[in-house]
Every structure is written in structure tokens, then in C-alpha cells.
Chains A and B, each alone.
Chain A
Amino acid sequence: MLAAADFRALGTGVRVVTAEASALEAALAAVHKLLVDTDEACSRFRDDSEISQLNRAAGQAVRVSPLLFLAIETALRVSRMTGGAVDPTVGTAMRIIGYDRDFAQLPADGKFTLAVRPVPGYERVRIDHSRRTVTLQPDVELDLGASAKALAADLSARVAAESAGAPVLVSLGGDIAVAGEPQDSGWPVLIAEDSAAALDSPGEVVSIKAGGLATSSTTVRRWRQQGIERHHIVDPRTGAQASVYWRTVSVVAASCVDANAAATASIVWGPDAVPWLAGHHLAARLVKANGEVVRLSGWPAAVAV
């Protein structure tokens, strides 16, 4: 029988589900520890985090923890994978469009500025595996938000399954990773625009047995700047928020990192996402701004609950 617990971390909702009730406590402890470590290493909103210190040390080679190194290495891989559509050097752009603190603390209608520009680009981040150092060129500011949350989901699911000795599902703000021998029918997951939707909300339910499932949406985590509606997905080519061709994209992949990268890049790419997703055999569900749904690479037809 499934057992689940919900809490908040990394500025978002966390849900941990185990296939056996007796495994939940150990799984929760493992996930909590991993998320604390991730927050200390990767949070742009904490002055004392490792990444904040790294951002303040642009131009210098900085030795970082294994976890932050992996997070940066993962972010760079995601950038290469997506041709720069998902880029960790969006830190300055995120501040300019007003997303400069934990989302819960953003003002309802903040100060407005038009000083957007293309992001510096992931090529300006140097990593040295042998020394485990990272060097940011001047004016580069990292924001690992797009990939670090997905990486934390992958890592915490694996750690929790190992600690608990049972299959585990971890959801970080709707980015889902599963680990351990799955149930026969897999983990049922509701697809929604908002990860905060109730489990009994109407919608499609899919089943995953391995890897990750991620959804990116421009309909949540929105705020206003002097009357202009903002969302949190930046197009690195312009430094401004991505235009909205797809309102929501969900992708299933071998890992939550890959699923999140593909979903976020698809928002940025608009219609060009379709051949890319299909070419990589990534099951995906894309919802146009007008509500039309496109299913790719074996994404199942809707099964209403």
C-alpha cells in the first residue's frame, strides 16, 4: 500500500511516496538530507550558499563541493543538449525581470525595467575536473534552477530507495523521479498545469516505472512588474521571458534531468520543439496557448480519472 508525505523545500512542494508504508520514514530522512545539501550548495536566494559565493567570485577559479560541481556539470550538459535553450548563466536576466528572491517573497507588482539582453552563455563557465574548480568569467551569474531541482529529484529518489530498501517516487515541484524496483503497474501520476493541483483534480493520469517525468509551464510562478505579467522561463537568446507558444510541456525521459531539460527547452523553442522531441524519441505532451494538446513518441491518449 502506498504511503506518502508532503513538505516544502527549495521553494517548492515536495512529495515522497513509497510502495511500502514501513519504508516512508527512511525515505523521508534521506530526501530531506539531500535537499538540505542541495539548498546549501545551489540556492541563488541564499547569500551563504556555495553558488552565491561562486557568483561573487567571478573571474577566479573556485573549488566547490562535489554536489555543486555535479550540479554545474549537469547544467552545462543540459545547455549543450539543448543548444543553449536552457542556460545556467541566466542569473542576471532572472534578477532583471524581477525574479530575485524566493518566489513566495516576490512583490505583487514590482519595479519595472527594460534592460534585458542575451545571457552571457554557458561557454563562459569553465570547469576543471581534476581540481573540482569552477571559473565564471566576469559578468556571469549562475542560476541552476532549471536543472538543479531535477537533479535533486533524481539524486534523492536514488538515495531514498537505497536507504529505504523499497521503491520510491520523489516529486520536487512536479518534477518527478522514481527509483527502485517499480510496482507492476508503475507509479500513477496526474498531469496538470500546476503541480499544486489536488490529486483528485480532473486530468490525464500516466504511469511511469523508471526515470523521470517533468512538466514546465508558463501558467504558474507568475508575477507582475508595473502591470506586466511575467513568468519564470527565460529565453537565453534575448534574456527576456520566453514567448508563449506552449503553455505547458510534459516530458518522460530516462532521468528527471533529461525530462526537465527537454520540457523547459520546448517552452523556449515553441513549434521547433516537436521535431526535436520526436527525433529523440521522448514521450511528450505539449499544450498550446489555446489549449490544443499534442502528444508525441507514444504519449498515451487521455485516460480520464
Chain B
Amino acid sequence: MTSWTWAAGLGGIGLTGAIAVLAAGSFAGHQPAAAAPPAATADPSNLDSTATIQPQPAPQDSFGGSNQPPAAVSGGS
């Protein structure tokens, strides 16, 4: 059973939708394209065959420099 399937059974439409969308994007339809230098080792019982284990870059043209006053700060915490 994939994540979004059980997520669909949650109460609370907002959280349900958020988990479903996030889980679908995170766990479905991708296969590893390249191994990371530190080789991943995992217990096969924990592996979801539909899961991507590669980080996904931001969509093209969704990121760049800015000279606008910042709305938030990204830093360590």
C-alpha cells in the first residue's frame, strides 16, 4: 500500500490533501538516476519499490537572485 492510499483515509481535509500531495510527489514514479557517493544501504523490507531515493531539484526557473526586501530568513536554527 502506498503512502497516499492510507493518507486518503485521514480525517481533516487540509492535512489529508497536504499529505496526499506530498506523499505522491515524494514516493511515486521515480527511480534512482545515480548513486550518491556515500553508497546507500538499506534493509529491503523497508524499501518501497515506487519510492524515489533521489533528491528532487527545484522546478526550472523557480529560483534566482533578488533585490527585493526579504520576506523571510533562511538560516541555521
Contacts and interface: CB of A to CB of B under 8 A. Distances in A.
Interface string A63-105: 0001101100110110111111100000000000000000000
* Chain A CB within 10 Å, residue with most, of B3, B17, B48, B57: B57
A209 interface: yes
Contact of A187 (B23, B48, B52, B71): B71
A159 B3 contact: no
10 contacts: A77-B26, A80-B47, A83-B39, A126-B45, A159-B17, A169-B72, A192-B75, A283-B57, A300-B64, A305-B69
Contacts of B74: 171, 174-176, 189-192, 195, 213-215, 250
Nearest to A198: B73
A190 B72 contact: yes
Interface residues of A, number: 109
Contacts of B10: 66
- Nearest 10 interchain pairs by C-beta: A217-B76, A173-B77, A83-B38, A300-B65, A254-B56, A195-B75, A207-B66, A190-B70, A192-B75, A158-B18
A186 B62 contact: yes
Chain B contact patch, size range: 35 or more
Given A81-B55, A253-B55, A298-B63, 10 more contacts: A4-B71, A37-B15, A85-B38, A193-B75, A194-B76, A195-B75, A211-B58, A254-B56, A269-B38, A282-B55
* Chain B CB within 10 Å, residue with most, of A37, A130, A188: A188
Interface in A194-248: 194-201, 204-211, 213-221, 248
A291 interface: no
SS class, residues of chain B in contact with chain A: loop
B23 to A, nearest CB: 7
A197 B46 contact: no
A128 to B, nearest CB: 9
Contact of A123 (B25, B39, B43): B43
B58 A196 contact: no
B14 A30 contact: yes
A15 interface: yes
* Chain B CB within 10 Å, residue with most, of A123, A262, A275: A123
B65 to A, nearest CB: 3
Given A30-B14, A83-B36, A218 B71 contact: no
A13 B9 CA distance: 31
A205 B70 contact: yes
Given A174-B74, A199-B69, A205-B65, A81 B40 contact: yes
Contacts of B40: 80-84
Contacts of A275: 37
A205 B68 contact: yes
Interface string A157-197: 01100110000010111111000001001111111111111
B29 interface: no
A81 to B, nearest CB: 5
A206 B64 contact: yes
B28 interface: no
A74 B7 CA distance: 14
B70 A189 contact: yes
Interface string B1-39: 111001101100011011101110111000000101111
A199 B73 contact: yes
Given A122-B42, A262-B55, A303 B67 contact: yes
